[in-house]
Structure 1
Amino acid sequence: MRITRTFDLLENLRQNHNKSDILATKRDGNWIKFSADDYSRNAKNFAYGLLALGFKKGDKIATISNNRPEWNFVDMGMAMAGVVHVPVYPTLGEDDFKHILSHSDAKMLIVADLGTYRRLQPIARKISKLKKVYTFNYYEGIPHWSEISKEGEDAKMKYKEKLQKISESIKPDDLLTIIYTSGTTGLPKGVMLSHRNILSNVEGVFNLYPLGPDDRILSFLPLCHVYERMVNYLFQWKGCGIYYAENLGTIAQNLAEVRASAFVTVPRVMERIYDRIVSKGEDLRGIKRRIFFMALKIGERYRVNGKHGPWYGLRLWIARKLVFAKWQQTFGGKLKFVISGGAALQPRLSRLFFAAGIPLMEGYGMTETSPVIAANHLSEPNSLLIGTVGPVLKNIQVKIDDDGEILVKGPSVMMGYYKDKKNTAEVLDKDGWLHTGDIGTFEKGKFLKITDRKKEMFKTSSGKYIAPQAIENILKESFFIEQAMVVGENEKFASALISPNFEYLHVWANDRHIHFRDNQELIRHPDVLKVFQKEVEKYNKQLGRTEQIKRFRLVHEEWSPATGELSPTLKLRRRVIYNKYANLLREIYNYAPGEENRGSIKFNDL
Structure 2
Amino acid sequence: MTDTQTLIENRPASVAALFLERVAATPDAEAYRHPVPPASGEGPDEWRVLSWRQAADRVDAIAAGLMDLGVRPEERVAIAAATSVDWIFADLGVMCAGAATTTVYPTTNADETVFILSDSGSRVLIAENAEQLAKAREHRAELPELAHVVVMDPAAAADADGDGWVLSLADLEKRGAAYLEQHPGVIAETVGAITKDQLATLIYTSGTTGRPKGVCLPHDAWAYMARAIQAIDLLDENDVQYLWLPLAHVFGKVLTAGHIAVGHVAAVDGRVDKIIENLPVVQPTYMAAVPRIFEKVYNGVAARAREGGAAQYKIFRWAADVAREYAKATQESMRLTGTRSAPLALRTKHAVADRLVFAKLRAAFGGRLRACVSGSAALAPEIGYFFAGAGIHILEGYGLTESSAASFVNPGEQYRTGTVGKALPGLEVRIAEDGEVLLRGPGIMRGYHKLPEKTAEVLEPDGWLHTGDIGELSPDGFLKITDRKKDLIKTSGGKYIAPAEIEGHFKAVCPYVSNVLVLGGGRNFCSALLALDEPSILAWAAENGQEGKGYAEVVASPEVHDLIAGYVEEVNTSLQRWQQVRQFRILPRDLDVEHGDLTPSLKLKRPVVEREFAPLIEEMYEGSREK
Q: TM-score range by the shorter chain?
A: over 0.9
Separation in 2, partners of 1:489, 1:347: 24
Cα offsets for 1:511-546 (capped at 9, x unmatched): 111357433322221111111111111111222211
In structure 2, the residue corresponding to 1:155 is in which secondary structure? helix
Q: CA deviation at 1:119?
A: 3.6
1:150-165 alignment runs, 5 A limit: 150-165=174-189
Contact 2:31 2:49 in 1 (8 A): yes
Q: CA deviation at 1:163?
A: 4.2
Separation in 2, partners of 1:559, 1:272: 14
Cα offsets for 1:69-104 (capped at 9, x unmatched): 111222112112111111111122333212211100
Do residues 233 (structure 1) and 257 (structure 2) align? yes
Among 79, 96, 108, which residue is 2:124 paired with? 108
Percent identity over the alignment is: 31
Separation in 2, partners of 1:138, 1:583: 48
Do residues 61 (structure 1) and 93 (structure 2) align? no
Contact 1:516 1:522 in 2 (8 A): no
Q: CA deviation at 1:183?
A: 0.9
Cα offsets for 1:107-155 (capped at 9, x unmatched): 1111112222224421344211112222112213342112111111112
Do residues 511 (structure 1) and 520 (structure 2) align? no
Going from structure 1 to structure 2, the CA distance change for 1:355 and 1:557 (only over 3 Å counts) comes to: same
Going from structure 1 to structure 2, the CA distance change for 1:289 and 1:567 (only over 3 Å counts) comes to: closer
Contact 1:396 1:410 in 2 (8 A): yes
Do residues 335 (structure 1) and 359 (structure 2) align? no
1:120-519 alignment runs, 5 A limit: 120-139=136-155, 140-142=158-160, 143-209=167-233, 211-245=235-269, 247-285=271-309, 288-302=312-326, 303=328, 304=331, 305=333, 306-378=340-412, 383-477=414-508, 478-514=510-546, 517-519=549-551
In structure 1, the residue corresponding to 2:138 is in which secondary structure? helix
Going from structure 1 to structure 2, the CA distance change for 1:204 and 1:535 (only over 3 Å counts) comes to: same
Amino acid at match of 2:154: Y
In structure 2, the residue corresponding to 1:243 is in which secondary structure? strand
Please, what TM-score do these two structures have when normalized by structure 1? 0.93
In structure 2, the residue corresponding to 1:569 is in which secondary structure? coil
Q: CA deviation at 1:321?
A: 2.4
Separation in 1, partners of 2:22, 2:436: 40
Do residues 24 (structure 1) and 58 (structure 2) align? no
Do residues 547 (structure 1) and 579 (structure 2) align? yes
Amino acid at match of 1:559: L
Amino acid at match of 2:442: P
Q: CA deviation at 1:266?
A: 0.3
Q: CA deviation at 1:254?
A: 1.1
Separation in 2, partners of 1:279, 1:235: 36
Contact 2:299 2:512 in 1 (8 A): no
Residue matched to 1:595? none
Separation in 2, partners of 1:499, 1:195: 41
In structure 2, the residue corresponding to 1:372 is in which secondary structure? coil
Contact 1:179 1:190 in 2 (8 A): yes
Separation in 2, partners of 1:446, 1:35: 39
In structure 2, the residue corresponding to 1:211 is in which secondary structure? coil
Contact 1:25 1:246 in 2 (8 A): no
| Unpaired stretches in structure 2, ≥5 consecutive residues | 1-9, 38-44, 161-166, 334-339
Going from structure 1 to structure 2, the CA distance change for 1:136 and 1:56 (only over 3 Å counts) comes to: same
In structure 1, the residue corresponding to 2:502 is in which secondary structure? helix
Residue matched to 1:12? 21
Separation in 2, partners of 1:207, 1:313: 34
Bigger mean CA deviation after superposition, 72-81 or 300-309:
300-309
Separation in 1, partners of 2:221, 2:63: 22
Amino acid at match of 2:237: P
Contact 2:381 2:504 in 1 (8 A): no
Q: CA deviation at 1:337?
A: 0.5
Separation in 1, partners of 2:442, 2:104: 24
Please, what TM-score do these two structures have when normalized by structure 2? 0.90
Amino acid at match of 1:178: L
In structure 1, the residue corresponding to 2:30 is in which secondary structure? coil
Amino acid at match of 1:153: A
In structure 2, the residue corresponding to 1:22 is in which secondary structure? strand
Separation in 2, partners of 1:70, 1:286: 48
Bigger mean CA deviation after superposition, 551-560 or 291-300:
291-300
In structure 2, the residue corresponding to 1:301 is in which secondary structure? helix
Contact 1:346 1:387 in 2 (8 A): yes
Query: What is the aligned length?
Result: 591
Cα offsets for 1:275-308 (capped at 9, x unmatched): 2222222232476554333222211212223452
Separation in 2, partners of 1:178, 1:20: 31
Separation in 2, partners of 1:458, 1:291: 39
Residue matched to 1:577? 609
Residue matched to 1:604? none
Amino acid at match of 2:23: R
Separation in 1, partners of 2:230, 2:469: 25
Among 34, 50, 55, which residue is 2:50 paired with? 34
Going from structure 1 to structure 2, the CA distance change for 1:290 and 1:529 (only over 3 Å counts) comes to: closer
